[in-house]
Amino acid sequence: MELRYDLAASDALPPVWKERALERLSGRLTDGGVLVIRASEHRSQWRNREAAAVRLSALLSEAVAPPPRNRRATRPSRGAVERRLTDKKRRSDLKRGRSGGFD
């Protein structure tokens, strides 16, 4: 079963979503801006058609989702830095103590 959706000529999506989807799905679109989805996991044509429709809706909803917010850079607190350094020192001392010579 093959499902074709002409994304470039569709009026179902708002223009902002359409631009975003065309940009994000550019690798999957054919030369005319058509999105092709194939489904052949079921023996029934009807179930394959439903699977292709579900896959199309998931693909479109993921493509038109707004971009994630930018991460704001943060610094670790002074206490976190001190705890990390004391743990490193403790681990270093423990490992240094293992290499003692046995007489």
Domain boundaries, the chain: 2-63
In CATH terms, 2-63 corresponds, of 3.40.1260.10, 3.20.20.450, 3.30.160.20, 1.10.287.70, to 3.30.160.20
For 64-96, the pLDDT digits (tens) are 999 889 999 999 999 999 999 999 999 999 999
The Cα–Cα gap between 97 and 83 comes to 21
Q: Is 55 helix (H, G, I), strand (E, B) or coil?
A: helix
Q: What is the mean pLDDT of residues 33-41?
A: 92
Instruction: Give the chain's count of helices (H) and strands (E).
Output: 3, 2
Reported pTM:
0.63
Q: What is the mean pLDDT of residues 13-23?
A: 90
pLDDT band at 101; cut points 50, 70, 90: low
What was the pLDDT predicted at 103?
54
Rg of the chain over Cα atoms, rounded to whole angstroms, equals: 27
